[in-house]
Structure 1
Amino acid sequence: MSTTGNHLRRKPTSLTRGLIAATTGGVALVLPLIGADFASAAPAQSVTAGKAAASTVAAVKETSAQKTAPTIYSVIAGDTLSKIAQAHSLSGGWQKLYEHNREIVGENPALVLPGMKLTIGAQAESKTSATATAATVTAAPAVQPATYTNNLDGWIKESLAVMAQHGIPGSYNGIHRNIMRESSGNPLAINNWDSNAAAGTPSKGLLQIIDPTFRAYHVPGTPMDSYHPVANITAACNYAADKYGSIDNVFGAY
């Protein structure tokens, strides 16, 4: 029997706005309700976080672009790969510079012509790395060593290759012009009538160099023979570089 007065309804409180009662097996469970106030806070935080992330990504991209920005160098008269690499403190020297710009320079690293646009910097490094990675996946045939014809054209080109290795300036046209004036392209030419000849040291070879000067400016890697075409050209260009800055600056007796 129920007792009168024990079942009066209680006034609802503010707590019922956030709670709901569920009955399970006679036991009342109080569960929280997710109100509109709670749901609206999350999107605001997500938008703020998204903007911050976007700003960070943009900053990283900008920094990355700055780091990979290359230097484009325009070759001028008298330049060599060795001289350019040294001026830009390029790790790996002229060989690395040639590797980066082989498509522009061509097969002979000594033939660097005025007006060529050479890439120096991180972008070239990345390109080289990508090429190297591809090469490890698909093995490319080995690069054959350069060969030169046994004539004036071949002697000049071989000399330029040796000069590039030693940082000696000079161009094909400058060398050819001076050879034609001094010996007409005859590697065995000798001058037996001038003051040098009278002193017992006649001028010899393609660029008419006397033996004492040849020995003083002989370049390692070439024969110790002043009549040898490549040795003669290379030593004479080494002498001209020391005295005149380059064989390209010689337009008469030197």
Structure 2
Amino acid sequence: MPANGQPRRARITRKLALVGTGAAVLALPLMGATTASAHTTTTATAATTAATVYPNNLDGWIRQSLSVMAQHGIPGSYDGIYRNVIRESSGNPNAINLWDSNAAKGTPSKGLLQVIDPTFAAYHVPGTVYDPYDPVANITAACNYAAARYGSIDNVFGAY
């Protein structure tokens, strides 16, 4: 029996346990670094997604609107929006209709999807600018209205 009063076998076992624990401790930082890297990547991806910059054109406006719509559960597709925008305004965000029945009543249709002010006010979606001429706000409000009335902008094939 050694001088410390413990049998030799127990001391060797304890050393192996310490070595094993040491290896586990050494492995944990490596595993932790891998996990932290994965987390950092996820966070960076989320930040990139949140900071997506859309082009300032019809394609970008539709894609940005679809992103906002997805966040609010508003149905619609790129093709459905595009088809209606081309029919209503030919893609001009400053389009205004000064001759139809709405205009005769003092509320002309405005913007890409020709929304009148009361409809824009009722169906405006938070997270977009409160301006019926703003392309993203106009598309998103119009799609919100179309969803409430027709189920989706995809179901609109004429003046609405």
What TM-score, normalized to structure 1?
A: 0.46
Match of 2:52 among 146, 149, 158: 146
User: Could you tell me how far 1:210 is from its partner in structure 2?
Assistant: 0.2
Whether 1:188 aligns to 2:94 is yes
- Structure 2's unaligned 5+ residue stretches are 1-32
Q: How many residues align?
A: 122
Greater helix proportion: 2
User: Could you tell me how far 1:136 is from its partner in structure 2?
Assistant: 2.0
CA RMSD in angstroms comes to 1.5
User: Could you tell me how far 1:234 is from its partner in structure 2?
Assistant: 0.2
Q: What does 1:53-132 align with in structure 2 at a 5 Å threshold?
A: none
SS of residue paired to 2:96? coil
Q: Which residue of 2 aligns with 1:205?
A: 111
SS of residue paired to 2:110? coil
Q: Which residue of 2 aligns with 1:216?
A: 122
Cα deviation digits, residues 198-252 of structure 1 (max 9, x gap)? 0000000000000000000000011110000000000000000000000000000
Which protein has the larger Cα radius of gyration, Structure 1 or Structure 2? 1
Larger RCO (CA under 8 A, 6+ residues apart): 2
Q: Which residue of 1 aligns with 2:135?
A: 229
What TM-score, normalized to structure 2?
A: 0.73
Greater strand proportion: 1
User: Could you tell me how far 1:146 is from its partner in structure 2?
Assistant: 1.2
- Structure 1's unaligned 5+ residue stretches are 1-132
- Aligned partner letter, 1:142: A
Match of 1:242 among 144, 148, 156: 148
Q: Which residue of 2 aligns with 1:39?
A: none
Q: Which residue of 2 aligns with 1:64?
A: none
Runs of 4+ in 1 over 3 A off after TM superposition: none
